[in-house]
């Protein structure tokens, strides 16, 4: 079984800083895929079952609605700090996502106010700062090259150093999670949906450089997120515009899934984002982000045991053309996601109503909620 990567505990000073695609940035019938051989799970890391005792007192202190809220990552208007404060204060969401290029939320005491509104459990503050055409703090600290340019002009160690400096700058502004690096494989046109966001079409090269970038972020206490499982690089189009299809699963195992073969090459605390992809032989028409088979593939075949996020459930037509937001969020949680994400904010109430009702009826089992909460809370360092 593949090596397990768990979410890292957050650093201290939670009172003033957060803890820590372009992603605005179902009946389960398939049997588990065969276990690959030749790799070993990292048994030195506890499983969620082992963590659950440490998180039980925190989970027990939350109301059902607060438990549901802690699993959500909601986009905020980067120009409206007051709205971000109100979202966290009134709903106690577990994470916010800052997806635009404006910098108002990074100035003054805006994010400190957001953290104060969160109360005892800090809120994660995420951006998708990859470099190239997907970066969020370049107006404050300067630009960063695209992944493709990094791999062409820098050594992995130089990429690690660059990411570490970028991570320190992120922490300075209150950012705790970066939805990067991309581990998708492609040598397609630079302006394609993945394009120059990919380090390489070669699995080994892409893995080496992505691991270096992720390690640099981790060195600075920013949690990296590798994406978009199980691989968007050779999909048939842009999932922002509609559901796209990848090569069959057997083919993905030989290429696009190679960056997930040994998750131990990434630093402890690395998280995974699941894309909105139709994979023949795995999901067969359903988006991976809403597919139990996809999460089972990641957990069982690739041995990953940390928090799993979805790609944007609100602003990407691969989802929004077919599902309402509250429906998509619930389906993602039922399938195995720990943190459903949507970038376009709005009224969180209907989503929380839908989740809370499903928890009450048993459509979203208590064990599934506690499993996800354990991963999310442990990543914030609030358990134990």
Percent of the chain with pLDDT over 70: 86
**Locate tokens 């800083």: which residue?**
17
pLDDT at 52: 58
Lowest mean pLDDT, pick from 9-23, 62-76, 275-289, 348-362: 9-23
pTM listed for this prediction: 0.87
What is the chain's percent helix, strand, coil content, to nearest 5? 40, 10, 50
Q: How much is the mean pLDDT over the chain? A: 88
Question: Tell me: the pLDDT tens digits for 95-146?
Answer: 999 998 899 999 999 999 999 999 999 999 999 999 999 999 999 999 999 9
Percent of the chain at pLDDT exceeding 90 = 84
338 is catalytic: no
Round to whole Å and give the CA distance between 193 and 130.
14
What residue spans of the chain are helical by DSSP H?
A: 48-60, 64-70, 81-91, 110-118, 138-141, 147-153, 156-172, 203-219, 249-254, 292-296, 317-320, 325-335, 349-361, 366-379
Q: Which fold has domain 48-379?
A: TIM Barrel (3.20.20)
Instruction: Give the tokens for residue 114.
Output: 């957001």
Q: What is the pLDDT of residues 166-204, one digit of tens each?
A: 999 999 999 999 999 999 999 999 999 999 999 999 999
311 a catalytic residue: yes
**Residues 276-289, mean pLDDT to the nearest whole number:** 96
Instruction: Calculate mean pLDDT across residues 259-265.
Output: 97
Checking if the pLDDT of 9 tops 90, the result is no
CA distances from 283 to 28, 291, 325 (A): 10, 6, 20
- What pLDDT is recorded for position 49? 47
According to the model, what pLDDT value does residue 54 have? 83
How far, in whole angstroms, is CA 137 from its chain's centroid?
Answer: 19
Q: Which is catalytic among the residues 311, 312, 326, 378?
A: 311
Catalytic residue among 178, 221, 232, 240: 240
How high is the pLDDT of residue 30? 33
């Amino acid at each position: 079984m593949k090596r397990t990567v768990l979410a890292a505990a957050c650093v201290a000073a939670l009172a003033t800083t957060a803890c820590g695609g372009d992603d605005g940035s179902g009946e389960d019938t398939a049997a588990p895929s065969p276990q690959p051989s030749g790799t070993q799970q990292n048994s030195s890391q506890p499983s969620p079952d082992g963590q659950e005792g440490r998180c039980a007192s925190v989970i027990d202190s939350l109301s059902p609605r607060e438990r549901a809220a802690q699993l959500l990552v909601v986009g905020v208007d980067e120009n409206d700090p007051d709205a971000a404060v109100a979202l966290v204060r009134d709903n106690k969401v577990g994470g916010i996502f800052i997806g635009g290029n404006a910098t108002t939320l990074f100035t003054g005491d805006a994010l400190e106010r957001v953290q104060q509104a969160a109360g005892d459990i800090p809120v994660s503050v995420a951006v998708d700062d990859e470099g190239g055409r997907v970066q969020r703090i370049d107006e404050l600290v300067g630009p960063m090259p695209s992944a493709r340019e990094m791999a062409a002009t820098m050594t992995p160690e130089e990429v690690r150093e660059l990411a570490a400096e970028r991570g320190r700058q992120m922490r300075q502004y209150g950012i705790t999670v970066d939805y990067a690096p991309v581990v998708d494989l492609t040598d397609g046109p630079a302006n394609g949906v993945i394009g120059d966001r990919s380090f390489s079409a070669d699995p080994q090269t892409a893995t080496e450089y992505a691991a270096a970038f992720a390690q640099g972020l981790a060195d600075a206490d920013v949690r990296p997120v590798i994406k978009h499982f199980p691989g968007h690089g050779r999909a048939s189009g842009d999932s922002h515009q509609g559901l796209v299809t990848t090569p069959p699963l057997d083919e993905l195992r030989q290429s696009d899934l190679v960056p997930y073969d040994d998750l131990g090459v990434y630093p402890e605390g690395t998280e995974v984002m699941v894309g909105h992809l139709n994979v023949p032989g795995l999901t067969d028409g359903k988006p991976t982000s809403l597919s139990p088979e996809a999460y089972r593939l990641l957990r069982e075949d690739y041995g990953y045991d940390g928090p799993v996020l979805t790609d944007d459930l609100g602003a990407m037509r691969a989802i929004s053309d077919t599902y309402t937001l509250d429906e998509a969020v619930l389906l993602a949680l039922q399938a195995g996601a720990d943190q459903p994400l949507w970038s376009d904010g709005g009224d969180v109430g209907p989503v929380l109503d839908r989740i809370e009702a499903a928890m009450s009826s048993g459509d979203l089992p208590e064990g599934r909620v506690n499993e996800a909460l354990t991963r999310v809370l442990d990543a914030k360092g609030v358990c134990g």
